[in-house]
């Protein structure tokens, strides 16, 4: 299994309507056929500690049954639609892929 964790820092000028549109875009990624499972959320209001990074706006976690399915997701047209639609709103994106 591959867990694809993506952290987004968005343009702070986005409206609530734009943020809702972004969330719908995240949900659409779950429907891509090679995605085994998915979820997203916002940074938790946990206590600040030296090792805690909670300045991001959204975290997306997708799971794939194999590296091949992860790779197919990366070139899937719907993934491309998400990137094209929302990347102008990204200030920063960090990706962490983990294989289990």
Tens-place pLDDT, residues 17-64: 999 999 999 999 999 999 999 999 999 999 989 999 999 999 999 999
CA distances in angstroms from 11 to 41, 48, 61, 78, listed in the order given: 17, 23, 21, 23
Q: Could you tell me if 14 and 89 are in contact, meaning their C-beta atoms sit under 8 angstroms apart?
A: yes
Residue boundaries of the structural domains of the chain: 2-44+53-99
Q: How far apart are CA 55 and CA 9, in angstroms?
A: 8
pTM for this model (two decimals): 0.94
Tens-place pLDDT, residues 69-92: 999 999 999 999 999 999 999 999
Which CATH number describes the domain made up of 2-44+53-99? 3.30.70.100
């Amino acid at each position: 299994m591959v867990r694809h964790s993506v952290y987004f820092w968005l343009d702070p000028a986005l409206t609530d309507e734009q943020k809702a549109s972004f969330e719908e875009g995240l949900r659409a990624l779950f429907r891509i056929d090679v995605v085994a499972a998915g979820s997203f959320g916002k940074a938790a209001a946990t206590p600040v500690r030296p090792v805690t990074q909670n300045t991001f706006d959204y975290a997306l976690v997708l799971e794939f049954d194999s590296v091949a399915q992860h790779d197919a997701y990366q070139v899937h047209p719907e993934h491309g639609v998400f990137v094209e639609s929302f990347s102008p709103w990204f200030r920063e994106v960090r990706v962490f892929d983990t294989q289990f």
